[in-house]
Amino acid sequence: MTSYSNRLETFPIGEFCRKILKWYEKNKRPLPWRENKDPYRIWVSEIMLQQTKVDTVKPYFENFMNKFPTPEVLAEAEEEQVMKAWEGLGYYSRARNLQSAVKEVVHHYGGEIPKSPEDFASLKGVGPYTKGAVMSIAYDLEEPAVDGNVMRVLARVLLIGDDIGKQRTRKQVEQDVRALMVGTSPADFNQALMELGALVCTPKNPDCTACPVNNTCRAYQRGMTRELPVKAKKKKQQRQTMAAAVIENKNGEILVEQRPDKGLLAGMWQFPMVEASPALLHEAMSNYLKETHHVDVVLEATEQRFDHVFSHLIWDIHVFRTTAHAHTLTLNGKWLTKTKAKQLAFSVSHQKIWEQQL
DNA sequence: GATACGTGGAC
DNA sequence: TGTCCAAGTAT
């Protein structure tokens, strides 16, 4: 493997840049956020695209831009409407941080997305990648935008054997990109690297024979594309057994509760839910309903269960239901009509809970 | 620097 | 079913 200090010394930078830029010009996908250089549009797309596939993002992006077409509109929108537009995309702090950052742009930068990388990077939810992506794509500033694609492409091209999960590796690759992009269009160069990673230099079965830069690729020349990039294996997710309850009162209303404003699914509404050992689910939910929502009734187990898989844990959700007397005394919940409860209860798992208890 | 933070799709 | 992933950030 090549070391950080010397890996660009004998690398044909000019040839690599010329070829990848030419390839990008010819092969770039027409994407909704490539229609113009509106920094706000590009910013929104970059946030949505974090850890999320292009095909997943497309419909969300169109809908989001229709509802919140400018920083001013997003800044003034109800947070609940913003979250609703994000529902299903995951990583919900992205939406809250984006709205918070846009408010700062409107109130402190006159509604103009800062052209200073340092100013832009100070906004909530804007990390090293998003800073480089928006500054380069929207303003053509010479900033690297190193995402998973770029890490993979350069790990192979430059034969980098370091774990790409490490922050230090990413910082070194950022320096590599800074050196490579001199004299190019940063907007096109960054996107060319990412597009090549997405379409040709894929994680599995890269299409090396079709690659425009295979003659400069050190991994390809050595038959090592399959060993790169190096990435530490993920730990297995922890399993949690959960009880969830759909409770209808005599008025036909459904009980929903709000999660804490920090942590997993922060601030989101859900049907009452508790963690417990598998044998004690029924008892745990009964006690929880009594203590938290002052609902003291006989619970019915539905025999319905399903997994909700997160990146770091798995909920084994068991669905209960019951009918309660009408009242409103709850600690962190409220009774809503079925329609409103179903709308408010967030996250994919709660749509499933609703369907399964019917 | 390791861990928390969602989801759906590919194989 | 399991595993890995997809244009990362905050703490």
Of all nucleotides in the shown strands, which has a C1' nearest the CA of A202? C5
Residue spans of the domains in chain A: they are 13-227, 238-357
Tokens of A149: 């694609």
User: Whose C1' is closest to the CA of A347: which nucleotide?
Assistant: B6
Hey, what CATH class is A13-227 in?
mainly alpha
At residue A37, what is the residue type?
K
Nearest residue by alpha-carbon distance to C1' of B7: A90
CA of A251 to C1' of C11 (A): 44
CA angle (A196, A92, A108) in 5-degree steps:
90
Q: In this structure, are residues A258 and A344 in contact, taking their beta carbons and an 8 Å threshold?
A: no
A240 CA to C2 C1' in angstroms comes to 18
Q: Annotated catalytic sites of A, by residue?
A: 46
| Domain A238-357 grouped into CATH 3.90.1150.10 | no
What is chain A's pLDDT, residue by residue, as a tens digit (358 residues)? 777 768 999 999 999 999 999 999 999 999 999 999 999 999 999 999 999 999 999 999 999 999 999 999 999 999 999 999 999 999 999 999 999 999 999 999 999 999 999 999 999 999 999 999 999 999 999 999 999 999 999 999 999 999 999 999 999 999 999 999 999 999 999 999 999 999 999 999 999 999 999 999 999 999 999 999 999 888 888 899 999 999 999 999 999 999 988 889 888 899 999 999 999 999 999 999 999 999 998 999 998 899 988 889 999 999 999 998 766 677 789 999 998 888 888 666 787 788 777 6
Distance, CA of A156 to C1' of B10, in Å: 22
User: What residue type is assigned to position A192 of the chain?
Assistant: A
Closest nucleotide to the alpha carbon of A266, via C1': B5
Give chain B positions with protein CB within 7 A: 1-9, 11
Please say whether the beta carbons of A156 and A220 come within 8 A. Answer: yes
Contacts of A28 (CB under 8 A, 6+ apart): A34, A191, A192, A195
Strand-pair category, A333-337 with A253-258: antiparallel
Instruction: Classify burial at A66, counting beta carbons within 10 Å of its beta carbon; exposed 0-12, middle 13-18, buried 19 or more.
Output: exposed
